[in-house]
Structure 1
Amino acid sequence: MPKKLYEVLGLDNEKSSEDEIRKAYRKKALQYHPDKNQNNKSAEEKFKEVGAAYSILGNNDKRAQYDAGVIDEAGNPVQAQPMPRRPQPQARQEATPKPQPARNAAPHQDYDSYRFYPRPTPTYYRFYNSPSAARTFTPKPEQAQFFIYTTPTPLSTLFNLFTDFDAHLRPEEKAQSYRYHRGNSSTPEFIAIKTYHAPSMERMIDQVIAQMILLELATQAAPLFTSNTHRVR
């Protein structure tokens, strides 16, 4: 049975491709769009639920974290369950056998002979029930929380922006065709879109290019800033 977010988009397979997830989102978004379901609170809530599901499954790194159980349906981190504590065995003390007093011993000697002298407890008894348990004890490995992070390519990010933009258009305004090729050893990565909204998409391209330029400038300035900081110190 698929997880909840896949069910929201109408997918019965958690191994669905990016294109299948995108098509399922567009279908559900058109079905419950407020323009087609005016004054319908149920459709409005369903439209928001579909958008929230795609915000995670449409993002490669968030989808990987969701599939691995690192984040939940709302995108919040899942807290790791603490491992149960092993009960500490109680230290055992053994009393020294009381010697029998001599028949002709003095009174103070009888008193000393009946005193209680506790035998020193071996160190391993503080942690184990017996020496054999100490020799056979094997500690259990602790489970550490892990994270999966996948960096999307600039073209895949741009393609997601285009499809999100296209999903909110009316049917007669939508793109006639769109395609994203991941790229391989023989063919480079590319996107191909036939649309009526080229100016709006060009502005999106300009924004992505500007972000890439700022990231490159910050990457080049980081070593210089680090060296100046060490020099001042």
Structure 2
Amino acid sequence: MRTYGQYCPVVRAIEVLGDRWTLLIVRDMLVGARRFNEIARGLPGLSRALLSRRLRQLQHAGLIVRADDGYALTRAGEDLRPLVFGLADWGARHAFGAPRPDELDPEILMWWMRGRIDTAGITERAVIQVDIADRHRLFWLVLEPDDASVCYNDPGFEIDAVLTADLPTLYRMWVGEIELLDAVRAGDIALTGARWIVRGLPAWLRYSPIAATVRATRPQP
């Protein structure tokens, strides 16, 4: 490993965390990712070979350990939480503008949304078809009392509700720039179907883990 040749704790931290993808792996583990395939699914631009290498490096650095169900953060790994979310705060304030086309991946957005749905208030299966109008793509969120999954092909269940929007609007909602109900009222998102789902989804969907940070940096009306 190449070093910077400076005796400084900032340098030592960069030597551990400065490789491409490393902090994003830590970010995803801080919000609950544990299994190899789960981490890979959330970082589709990262090859599985490089992911394996980065996980080994994080293990060697003492930030993660192998666990029965995949990987777990150590105390040193958990101590990165204020750093990672501090970067989110700085980024939201100083480096976060309109989404660029290369940042808008519908499949990863649906994967993220699936992982942030609170199923505690769901008492029966709810199938929500998500129509991303500008991409001509359909996805299906299948919500059960104890599980939420996303299907990239029609699961064959009866559709209970339909959510329609363009991809930039869905991303802006996801990161906390706009609220789902506000976007529905403004006509930027359409949500139709069974009343209990139309009313429930805004409460079930918890948005991105950094949504509150993004909201806090935006001017208040």
**TM-score exceeds 0.5:** no
- Greater radius of gyration (CA): 1
Give TM-score scaled by structure 2 length: 0.25
Give TM-score scaled by structure 1 length: 0.24
Judging by fraction of residues, say which structure has more strand: 2
